[in-house]
Amino acid sequence: MSLNNVEIQPENGWLGLGKARIPTPGVSERGPFFRLMSQFSRYFGRSEVPDVLLILHIHPKLFWAWLHFASRLMPFGQLKARVREKIILRTAWNCRSRYEWGQHVDIGLGVGLADIDIIRVSRGPEAFDDAHDQAIMQACDDIFRDHVLSEQTWNTLKKTYSDKLMLEIILLIGQYVMLAGAINSAGLALDPPIERKLQDFYQRIAGANLGLPGAH
């Protein structure tokens, strides 16, 4: 895949952009599942079924159990949507998952994130002035790199969140690390409508002279 010259990307680039290893099921293979998921996808702000769901449904027994769990984190979790989307975006960036990043740039903008919020997410904790946002970003980095929240990260977040929501933060990060691994390994390309929205975002931030972030 050829990326344009305004696209921001992690150090060492995105993963899984070569030839698809698992082809997306065609229309003739979708049947009743496709019609059901078309209705469900509206909860995720999608008019069409994202290709990631079609890929995961290749293993139906795992898919339905995963979907029940995943939907309790997004969109039906108890974290504020803007916080949730910052977490998912930072996790996608850490995992170098362009599909996950593109999907949640669009979703994040839809729940009220500004372009500059997304740029700051790509830069990491130090790009935020607010201690809460710094700790949320650091939690993503801690779990991704060390598989444990540092004492400082935990103590900062506990000023805001109950034990219940601390668990939700940790499980949300873990869920999207797992999903990124599946997406990257399958070589899934971003759905064309979301690709267009992602390119609109890149053109907009370039035109606004917001600057391109370094990779962290």
The first and second tokens of residue 79, run together, are 């974290």
Q: pTM score > 0.95 for this model?
A: no
Query: 185: phi > 0 → left, psi -120 to 50 → alpha, else beta; which?
Result: alpha
| Distance (Å, whole) CA 167 – CA 14 | 28
- Across the range 26-52, mean pLDDT stands at 65
* Residues 112-133: tens digit of each pLDDT: 999 999 999 999 999 999 999 9
Query: What are the Cα distances from residue 212, in Å, to 10, 106, 205?
Result: 11, 18, 8
Domains and CATH numbers, the chain: 79-207 (1.20.1290.10)
143-190 per-position pLDDT tens digit: 999 999 999 999 999 999 999 999 999 999 999 999 999 999 999 999
Which residues have C-beta within 8 Å of that of residue 89, sequence separation ≥ 6? Answer: 101, 104, 105, 108, 118, 121, 122
55 membership: H or E segment, kind and range? helix 51-56
Work out the mean pLDDT of the chain and round it to a whole number: 89
Query: Quick one: tokens of 201?
Result: 């975002």
Contact 166, 79 (CB under 8 A): no
Rounded distance between C-alpha atoms, residue 174 and residue 73, angstroms: 11
Which range in 23-32, 158-167, 206-215 is most confidently predicted, on average pLDDT?
158-167
Identity of residue 198 = L
